Amino acid sequence: MSGLVYAFLAIGAAFNALGAVALIRFPDVYTRIHGATKCTTFGSIFSILAVAVYGIVQGGGAGGTMAVRAFLALGFLLLTNPTGSHALARAAHRSGIKPFRAVVDRLEEAGHGPRATDHGPRETR
């Protein structure tokens, strides 16, 4: 079972490293948010699964508590990572940051673009 724990940790570390590379390599804030959030969420899932498996293998009260806490952390992670990345992307859009090589902005066409009350670049109409 320790091989499974090490495999989960290695997979988690690899995906977290890919998330760091996404922050460096991608051209704009939206693709950086997307790449980093997807990779680090997936990497954290495997790291938390490694902790849960380790807790289950340990057995007893302490191991069971460790596994339960790991699954609770997994649940909170799955709720907060997408919510946080959505909030960052929405704030970037509302502040007027345009995507790299964007051709169509459906939110702006629908009238949900940057507002005059937002802080950041003002639109001239």
What are the chain's domains?
Answer: 2-109 (1.10.287)
Q: DSSP assignment, residue 28?
A: S
Tens-place pLDDT, residues 28-64: 899 999 999 999 999 999 999 999 999 998 887 888 8
Residues 40 and 13 sit within 8 Å (Cβ to Cβ): no
Give residue 91's pLDDT.
92
Burial pattern 48-77, b for ≥16 Cβ within 10 A else e, equals bbbbbbbbeeeeeeeeeebbeebeeebeeb
